[in-house]
Amino acid sequence: MTGKTRLLPFLLLAVSAAAVACSHKPPATTPTPTGPNQDSINAENARRDSIARAEAARRDSIARAQADADKMRNGRDAATKALTQVIYFDFDSDALKDDARSTLDAKIGILNSNPGVKLRVGGNTDERGSDEYNLALGQRRAAAAKRYLTDHGIAGDRIDIISYGEERPVATGHDESSWSQNRRDEFEITAGADQIKGAP
């Protein structure tokens, strides 16, 4: 009962408001036609053109900046990827294979154009062999990569080495397909990662 009585005044208000809107309809006004003024048309066109030009220029500059940023990011991503690209070894060997040398060559260019960048080489082995001897073998693998880089002009203090032996496998199987993935040097960027530029 109370709900209905409360609703009533609102309903009445709404009805009266509608009635007012209908009764006071304003008369339609039509603009007075005026003759074309060439000067004003020209001025308006010029104004529009200039806005369009400015907007195009702005769009272009944004696109250019975007493209530059993309290029830079792509360049940085590519450079980072190349710097951290893993190299692989044969069983019980620290000899750099041909593909490992090409991978290291790609790093040299980037290191040369990014003097602030430093790398840590982590040597790893497969699970075969002695756990302890594998630490020494991993050290030798890391040292082999460092030596290649320093022999090609990279300052020794930019390359740090560490051995993980067989303690950090990436593949945990017990066959050659796993072992070959684990006999590797990993490369970690330890300084200058945020300012890397792509190779020129």
Partner 1 sequence: MQQTQRLITCAALAACLGVPARATAQQQDTTRGVRIGLTYQPGTKPGVVVFPVSGAGGDSLQAIVQRDFDYGDRIEVIDGDAVQQTAKQQAAKNAIDFTVWKSLSAAAVVQISVMGSTAHVNVYDVAAKKVAASHDVQVSGSPTAENWRMSVHAMADQIEQWITGVHGIAATRILYVRGNRIYVIDSDGFGEHPVSEPGTVLAPAWSPDGRTIAFSELVRGGWNIVIRDVATGREHSVTATPGGLNITPAFSPDGQSLCYAHGEENGTDLYMVSASGSGSGRRVTVGRGTDNVSPTFSPDGARLAFTSGRAGHPEVYTSDVDGSNVALLTPFNFGDQNYRSNPDWSPDGRLIAFQSQLDGRFQIMTITLRDQTVKQLTSEGINEDPTWAPDGRHLAFTSSRTGVKEIFVLDAESGRARQLTHDAGARLAAWSHSTGAP
Under DSSP, is residue 56 helix (H, G, I), strand (E, B) or coil? helix
Distance between CA atoms of 116 and 151, rounded to whole angstroms? 19
CB of residue 76 to partner 1, shortest distance in Å: 26
CB of residue 84 to partner 1, shortest distance in Å: 19
Distance between CA atoms of 10 and 12, rounded to whole angstroms? 5
89 touches 100 (CB < 8 A): yes
CB of residue 109 to partner 1, shortest distance in Å: 23
CB of residue 165 to partner 1, shortest distance in Å: 8
Cβ count near 145 (within 10 Å): 27
Longest CA–CA separation in the chain, Å: 101
The two tokens of residue 134 are 């594998």
Nearer to partner 1, 128 or 152 (CB): 128
Nearer to partner 1, 109 or 188 (CB): 188
CB of residue 136 to partner 1, shortest distance in Å: 4
Buried b (16+ CB within 10 A) or exposed e, 37-74: eeeeeeeeeeeeeeeeeeeeeeeeeeeeeeeeeeeeee
Nearer to partner 1, 82 or 145 (CB): 145
Q: Which residues are near partner 1 by CB under 8 A?
A: 91-92, 128-133, 135-137, 139-140, 143, 146-147, 161-165, 167
Nearer to partner 1, 165 or 198 (CB): 165
Using left for φ > 0, alpha for ψ between -120 and 50, and beta otherwise, residue 20 falls in alpha
Nearer to partner 1, 70 or 167 (CB): 167
